[in-house]
Structure 1
């Protein structure tokens, strides 16, 4: 079922986390944070919205890292109910797609709740002071990737944040599959 996150709450501080990465180490927010800003992405392995744009996510993350933006992706889905989202499958996806950023597993789903994540993909763009400045879409793609010349909404917003510390006032929310919450969570 498709879900749409709420609009950006400008200035909201990024919650800390301590999560295992597919690279074999644990990551905290401070480890990920970049000198010009930080992008936290909630993604997963099985969502058609994510899979349609995974190569664009990897491209934009790489380009943003070159601008001094720290990047991490987090999967919070219930891997028992959705085995495609298991930690082993996360490792495979990160390797197959050449992730240049840590891919973290939020097994308890506590980090997704702390961030208020709603769907995959869900993007949280912070300035250098870890204040929320972007909660929008990657681009105009949906369950299928749009044309290659689509405006890179996420990239342009994060570039603006790196340069000015502020995100765009007008933002179009992301859309994707709802996070697969555990029944007892």
Structure 2
């Protein structure tokens, strides 16, 4: 009887450990998209007051959707790298689509008017959309700014191929040794499997 209890205890510990490892190795967000899911389209207001949808990009091969904002120091640290991603991949069929998911009532720095100012000051080369009513970021499962979703455009829809951080060093681009988004898009352009499909997004929590 004592041996049976020990065996049951060991089995329980192994099961818990396996679950914990799985959660670490698959840091996808709760309630949002997972790798292989088809992302629904959206129509959101851009800083030029036009409405933007993924369907507008007829010639796109996919998208680099980045939830970001004006005030978060992590987002600010990545702005030049986001611009570089857009300049590098837009002409290859993978444009950046930036979305501000924050509630401006909770954080006035992230108002639509301030989005316009920030985009002009930084010279954004990509759409900067406002998630009015905060309807889109929960669908994706974004929790941080920045939080990236690389989508591949297929006959079935826009399939999620990567979720997580831009790279592994938010403080210094030159010190980043793993460029997750860049590697993901380059793999897709070559028709290859994305080498790292999920990472933990590092940034400020989205303000509801």
TM range (shorter): 0.7 to 0.9
Cα distance in 1 for residues equivalent to 2:57 and 2:136: 15
1:32-43 → structure 2 map (5 Å cutoff): 32=57, 35-43=60-68
State the match for 1:128 in structure 2: 153
Going from structure 1 to structure 2, the CA distance change for 1:160 and 1:33 (only over 3 Å counts) comes to farther
Cα distance, 1:49 vs structure 2: 0.8
State the match for 2:35 in structure 1: 10
| TM-score normalised by length of structure 1 | 0.86
Query: Could you list the per-position Cα deviations for residues 41-64 of structure 1 after superposition, in whole angstroms to 9, with x for gaps in the alignment?
Result: 100001111111211111112111
Q: Which runs of 5+ in 1 are unaligned?
A: none
Does 25-34 or 78-87 show the bigger shift?
25-34
- From the CA coordinates, give the structure whose radius of gyration is larger: 2
Cα distance in 1 for residues equivalent to 2:194 and 2:40: 19
1:1-185 → structure 2 map (5 Å cutoff): 6=28, 9-32=34-57, 35-129=60-154, 130-142=158-170, 145-151=171-177, 152-164=179-191, 166-181=193-208
Aligned residues: 175
Q: Which runs of 5+ in 2 are unaligned?
A: 1-26
| TM-score normalised by length of structure 2 | 0.77
The runs of at least 4 consecutive aligned structure 1 residues that moved more than 4 Å come to: none
Indicate conservation of the 8 Å contact 1:34/1:69, yes or no: no
Cα distance in 2 for residues equivalent to 1:62 and 1:25: 21
Indicate conservation of the 8 Å contact 1:34/1:70, yes or no: no
